Amino acid sequence: MWECMISETRKGRHKRSNEEKPSPSRDAPLELQLAGIRRDRTSQLEKLRAAAQRSRRRESEAEAPSDAGYRLKQLYSRASQDLASLASQLAQHNGLRQFSATFSTRAPPLELRMLLPELEASIETLLSSLSSCSEEIALLQVPSETRLATLRDAVCSYLRSEHEDAKGHFHEQCTHMRALRSVSPLTSPMTMPVLPKKLSGLGSPELSYMKEPGPSSVSTRSSPEMPEFTLEEFKLDEDSEAEDAPPFAAVMS
């Protein structure tokens, strides 16, 4: 009986030891799977690092062209504003020319004559600004054989063409207005060079004849002597004038 109990106990211990041992068939695939996950993560991190390095390299290489592109955008924006203002002011200048050519016997209003010199000066300023913009664009340093270089050349050519056209129209209008002034100075909107200066001085408190004389402008010459009159002579003159004057009734009649 004791032998049977001992044999059963040994069988139970052997069975429990077999159950506690891990099975090699289950653990091997799990270890292989974890190793594959580790390798996948490592390769992904390496790819991310390489992509970040490539992006930083591209940014450093494209830093100078991006500055040139931003500067090109600024200059083109300023040139576009100059072109819009130039077109508007050239239209006003052409309207004054057409007014003078159509109404050859009618003098233009004084406001138009005063506006013309300021308008021509503003047009010349816009032309010079447009020319400087095109020159700055032509001097931009960009990599050759790139889209930015092609864009720079195209913008520069366009601005130069527009500048030449506007300058030609303005010169033609000014020449025609000078011809109209030589034919009829009174009815031309283009006044003589001295007239705007005189008109601008009207009503100004800084005119020479309204200025108070300073210490340096005081005259040192003696004033002419005034004739002396006596009271008796003054009374005699009044009496003689009263005698010669007609009576009040005769005047009223």
Do the domain assignments include residue 77?
yes
Ordered DSSP codes for 47-62: HHHHHHHHHHHHHHHT
Alpha carbon distance 122, 166 (integer Å) = 13
Do the domain assignments include residue 91?
yes
- Name the pLDDT band for 253 (thresholds 50, 70, 90): very low
Q: Dump pLDDT digits (tens) for 160-203.
A: 999 999 999 999 999 998 888 888 777 777 765 544 455 555 55
CA of 185: how far to CAs of 100, 116, 118, 170, in Å? 11, 15, 19, 21
Do the domain assignments include residue 37?
no
pLDDT score recorded for residue 179: 87
User: What percent of the chain is predicted at pLDDT more than 70?
Assistant: 55
Alpha carbon distance 204, 135 (integer Å) = 42
| Number of structural domains the chain divides into | 1
SS3 assignment, position 184: coil
Q: For residue 164, what is the domain's CATH number?
A: 1.20.58
- Name the pLDDT band for 76 (thresholds 50, 70, 90): very high
Q: Dump pLDDT digits (tens) for 135-154.
A: 999 998 888 888 888 999 99
Quote the domain boundaries for residue 102.
63-193
Degrees, nearest 5: CA angle 70-71-76: 100
Q: Are 66 and 143 in contact (CB under 8 A)?
A: no
pLDDT, the chain, mean:
72
Do the domain assignments include residue 120?
yes
Question: Given a cut of 90, is residue 250 above it in pLDDT?
Answer: no
Do the domain assignments include residue 39?
no
Name the CA radius of gyration of the chain, rounded: 51
pLDDT score recorded for residue 93: 92
**Of 252 and 54, more confident:** 54
Do the domain assignments include residue 13?
no
What tokens does 114 get? 């005063």
- Name the pLDDT band for 121 (thresholds 50, 70, 90): very high
- What is the CB neighbour count within 10 angstroms for residue 83? 18
Do the domain assignments include residue 227?
no
Q: Dump pLDDT digits (tens) for 193-247.
A: 544 455 555 554 444 444 444 444 444 555 555 555 454 544 444 445 445 545 5
Do the domain assignments include residue 183?
yes
Helices (H), ranges, 109-229:
110-138, 147-183, 194-201
**Of 208 and 134, more confident:** 134
What tokens does 26 get? 């289950």
pLDDT score recorded for residue 14: 56
Q: Is the pTM of this model over 0.85?
A: no
Question: Given a cut of 50, is residue 57 above it in pLDDT?
Answer: yes
Question: Given a cut of 50, is residue 10 above it in pLDDT?
Answer: yes
User: Using CA atoms in the order 167, 170, 176, 180, what is the torsion angle rounded to 10 degrees?
Assistant: -150
Q: Dump pLDDT digits (tens) for 101-114.
A: 888 777 777 887 88
**Of 115 and 58, more confident:** 115
